[in-house]
Structure 1
Amino acid sequence: MPDQPSQSIAAPFPAPPPFYHHFTKPNLAQLRRIQKDTPSQPQPNGNGNDHTDSSTSESKPSIDVLSLPPELRYLLPPRPPTPSSTYRSFGSHISLSAPELTLADAGIEQLYPTSPPPQTSSRVEGEAPLPTANPQPHLIALARSMLTTYLSLIGTLSLNPELFGDRVDDLQTICYNMHDLINQYRPHQARETLVLLMEERVEGMREEVRRVREGRERVESVMRELGVKNEEEVGGGLVKEEGKAEDGGDQSEKQRQRSKWRAMEREMEGVS
């Protein structure tokens, strides 16, 4: 049989960008040296005003990216996007300043209310509709409607399959409305995510402080047991015991100090 070409299995995930090889310690050190040698210029505080002062501006080195070697250009973070910037999503360019698209703008029927009843509403005429205060009951109602519509679709397919179009359109409209209600939880989700990250950070710092305090207590306990804590320093040296002979006194003192340090090192190894 003729040799068949080997079929290579595609990777389940795309390869990382090639410029990640440039993020090395020598390149970072070289970039820091360049930033240190480059004169700093005040940067605006982001309010769109070119006039800056020392209280509202931050001095950063102004480095021309094109003047850097190719291996250092990717180490500089890009500038923050401006309100007039655009980003690409699924092949479409979307502006950051574009208003949020509503169901009415997309030509989809809205199945849930977005404002209070007319007799209690204080909304000005022409104002944008208010978001739903509590989307949960509307989501439950839409989920039940989706279930009944699906059962109706099954019955239609069993009797006359050619009439499935209306039920499929109804299911699609219900799904669009449910997704729009779910998107109203996004700000709350972002806030809760930040809260969780901050709580984890605080908990990690508290755990680190607790371990440091435990290590300090163990060291103090060892020092108390060895009698080091009650000794006083005089002229940069420890007070020698009364009646200690001059010959061999320094040597015995050094041996005691070495034994104390060895005991403390053993305790610190247990802490770490």
Structure 2
Amino acid sequence: MSSPSSSGSAERPPAAPPQEDAQPPPEFDTSLFPAPPAFYHRYTDADLANLDPPNVDWITQDGSYTVFGETWPVEETTPTLKEMGVPEMFDPDSDRKLSLQSLLRTLILTYTQLLDALLTPPPSLAHPEPTLPTDPERLTEHMRLICINMHYLVNELRPVQARETLKAMMQSQIDLRRRKTAAIKRKCAGITAQLAALQTRTLEAANAQPPLKSHPRLDPSPAEAAATAAQETLDIFAKLRARAAAADAGV
């Protein structure tokens, strides 16, 4: 039996002891809370005191200003299609509603043509025509222009929509007031009927009671006082009904 030394396998050399002067691993230049940029030192109180305010005349002369990469005009105006570089696909003198319906029909027709163009086989690779746009590209561009024109017409109808919305709100308020007035009238009629019945019963009770001859009363009897109060209440409700009728006529 052969010994391990004679088997031909090399023994693993012992591990080297750690060196005392070994360098630590390099640190990364990252942090969970990074320091602010170096130019923040420029924003001192003295520098801010000497800083000139922004010149508003420059913005007025340019006619626009830039915020977050977007350019906004000083005076809010709606650009026309010509200013946006989009051709007008409707008659400017025609009714906007009719123009929208016409553009919608054109959009649907163009969409069906686009579906037909997508079903056709592509052109041969042996004879490409890169200069001419294909039918899907042409129809897609045509649909884009139609949508821009429709969006422009819808924006022109915004004042009409706001006016009609205001009319609907005012009409709903008038209907609500009329319903409340009718409910008040019904309630007043019910209370008036109850008071009239109470007055009738009070008068009947007063007439049925025999008068006192020996000791006449200067003050009215409870039945007479109740009848007087009922009559005053009826007068008040009559005035309320008159006011409600006048308010309903004014609405």
Query: TM-score w.r.t. structure 2 length?
Result: 0.46
Structure 1 or 2: larger helix share? 2
* Structure richer in strand, relative to its length: 1
Specify which structure has the bigger relative contact order, considering alpha-carbon pairs within 8 angstroms and separated by 6 or more residues.
2
TM-score (norm 1): 0.43
